[in-house]
A and B are shown apart, each in its own frame.
Chain A
């Protein structure tokens, strides 16, 4: 299955499971993080029940991401925003119930435990990172990576892939940063950008944000390139994906140099 087909297949399955008419009518469709889908597909590739593992893990991730959209205080003056916020709380709770229901139906209680432990770690890490000032972006990056990878790490360990976890973490973080970088270039402001501005940069400067994002992206890229440890054979697809991206970047870079040359 090609990755686009794969994403569409799982996105459809996930949205079918979390469907609720009232939430759909009032909230934006929750985002399915494709790179995590890809990673989960890699981790679970040899298991018959992989659909259930992938969907339940992604639904938990979406539940927790949804709760990140809650403002620290509600704007009481605007009833519509208030209603949206209230429904956002409930949407996250609803998705949490769905993940549990999916696994309970499949009688997979041990995987419920794995994800519950993942939520636990992730939530504690969020409380730590969201409410702390960071002197250096490197420290922030290292701590944020734990939030981004907590659930998938648990799943990888469950499927005995501890050996590749370090690589997996960097790969996930690279994908996340790439996404955040492209959103920044499209002038979109995300929760991650705000977190960086508040907890790391602290002067609300977009130039600094650009610098920090690029630095973190290059740092992560370097960590992946310098990774020399053994990897489970399943992780070859992650390596190939990364190499392909590097080739694509080089190609784009050469093209832009050529174009610049032409314009001169």
Chain B
């Protein structure tokens, strides 16, 4: 099943959000406008708006109100991606050239700042201060997650806890906040809001773990970027952490990271093979499934509406991404 099919009944509302996104990044300045549009047209699953809309359906759903939250969250996600590409020095995202590749780092920085400001400007139409406190905290955590990632680069002495904290900040919180903010915008009960937050958090954790697995098991064509890219950049993800239980893998990584600047794709290939020959991928998948299970459980107490079925289907889809 295709992901979009799981929430086809909100397609019309998602189209409205797409229009809001396009309108909000409009500017007379042609380079900024083209760069922002390129980012917007690069597509993406629009998962955050989907979560906002579905969560809002557990309360008093009003698309004119909720779309402000949904589009603001997608804009924040977009702004963080364009800055991420500068940080990672990436020229390709989803198989297409990045803003920094088409223009330069400075334009990418300005585009990110511009989109970020548009997101906040839009989000201020939501009066509820608690919503702003949640979003502000999420944005800070998101950056702290990225800072931690740089701090822990090439550090083979990190543990599962460090990794989980990092992906919670980097990925899970923006998804859980999307669910929570959708619920707040629709005025659901605090209990429902909490359940949706938990669903988003567990989904986000599972999603990132699977992304980290795919970085080893996917092909360049499927990923839209070279396989093993995370490790090449010195990012120690869950499969690597598990694979390092095998001393020979750990020793090989220690040797390789003695001179990080010399590590290239060719050097990495045999190490990736070794990692794939351990149980690491399977163990990582088991942990991802546990988070997924928790995501399903978070939905148990919620009423059986269409949105609940969609949230379950999304979890199913995420869990079954080709590993």
Contact = CB atoms under 8 A, between A and B. Distances in A.
Interface of A: 20, 22-23, 63-64, 67, 70-74, 76-77, 79, 82-83, 86-87, 89-90, 92-94, 96-98, 100-101, 103-105, 107, 109-110, 112-113, 116-117, 119-120, 123-124, 126-128, 130-131
A111 to B, nearest CB: 9
Given A100-B139, A105-B133, A131-B31, 9 more contacts: A67-B109, A74-B89, A76-B89, A86-B87, A89-B109, A101-B133, A107-B132, A120-B121, A123-B114
Interface of B: 27-29, 31-32, 80, 83, 86-87, 89, 104-107, 109-110, 112-114, 116-118, 120-121, 124, 127, 129, 132-133, 135-137, 139-140, 142-144, 146-147, 150-151, 260-261
- For the residues of B in contact with A, the DSSP-based class is helix
Contacts of A63: 113
11 contacts: A71-B105, A93-B80, A105-B133, A105-B136, A113-B120, A119-B114, A123-B110, A123-B117, A124-B28, A127-B29, A128-B29
Given A67-B109, A98-B140, A116-B120, A109 B86 contact: no
- For the residues of A in contact with B, the DSSP-based class is helix
A119 B105 CA distance: 18
B203 to A, nearest CB: 23
B215 to A, nearest CB: 19
Nearest to B115: A123
Most chain B beta-carbon contacts within 10 A, residue among A109, A113, A123: A123
Contacts of B116: 93, 96, 119
Nearest to A82: B89
A119 B117 contact: yes
A263 B260 CA distance: 61
Contacts of A70: 86, 105-106, 109
Nearest to A124: B29
B124 A100 contact: no
Contact of A83 (B29, B106, B136, B150): B150
B87 A90 contact: yes
